[in-house]
A and B are shown apart, each in its own frame.
Chain A
Amino acid sequence: DTGVSQDPRHKITKRGQNVTFRCDPISEHNRLYWYRQTLGQGPEFLTYFQNEAQLEKSRLLSDRFSAERPKGSFSTLEIQRTEQGDSAMYLCASSLEGAKGIGAFFGQGTRLTVV
């Protein structure tokens, strides 16, 4: 296992379209996080899962956003009716509960451009 994998790396979509991103975490990691990073800013927490349960969602995650982790392995993040303000880098990270202080390992991100 070489790390957290995200697909696609880049996505260009028209305003109003739906998009879905995938994240494959490090295999033994039971926690998975989604962050959003806009230009010139640090990453902002969106949501996280422990196994298949979504335990926390940020207020940044509007109703148009939904995330799933159906079998506690990979996760998807869907954005419905995309808006130009959704243009950002979406980062996925994973960690192992109980391995305190290890922190999270990040993927390469998916850069979304809404035109």
Chain B
Amino acid sequence: AQSVTQLGSHVSVSEGALVLLRCNYSSSVPPYLFWYVQYPNQGLQLLLKYTTGATLVKGINGFEAEFKKSETSFHLTKPSAHMSDAAEYFCAVSGSTNAGKSTFGDGTTLTVKP
């Protein structure tokens, strides 16, 4: 069984400030981990993913995340927020045998203040 907990349903930062969105997971098998972004009335766009290998993964739009097995975490960061980063972000976990079948967290809405 797998589950995802996203800590903080809403996060607000100032433009130019650090973005930190938290994700903890539970998985009975080695996990694949994903972060997606969703704009209003749109589908999900993949930001980055962890499968195996390097635990610090870089994605699009300047985002990165670090897989910490001991903490069962996969937090998403961006050094400097931009107004266009305002959106909803979802963390997801899957197993290696079916990477497309994911369990999602409930999402974090990021607001960026000018």
Interface residues of A (CB under 8 A from B): 4, 6, 31, 33, 40-45, 48, 56, 91, 93-95, 100-109, 111
Contact = CB atoms under 8 A, between A and B. Distances in A.
B104 A103 contact: no
The secondary-structure label for the interface of chain B is: strand
Contact of A42 (B51, B92, B98): B92
Interface string B78-114: 0000000000001010101011111111110000000
B interface, size bucket:
20 to 34
Contact of B100 (A103, A108, A109, A111): A103
Contacts of A106: 36, 43-45
Contacts, number: 70
B42 interface: yes
27 contacts: A33-B101, A41-B106, A41-B107, A42-B4, A42-B92, A43-B104, A44-B104, A56-B101, A91-B44, A93-B44, A93-B100, A95-B100, A100-B51, A101-B32, A101-B49, A101-B51, A101-B96, A101-B99, A102-B49, A103-B46, A103-B94, A104-B100, A106-B36, A106-B43, A108-B43, A109-B41, A111-B41
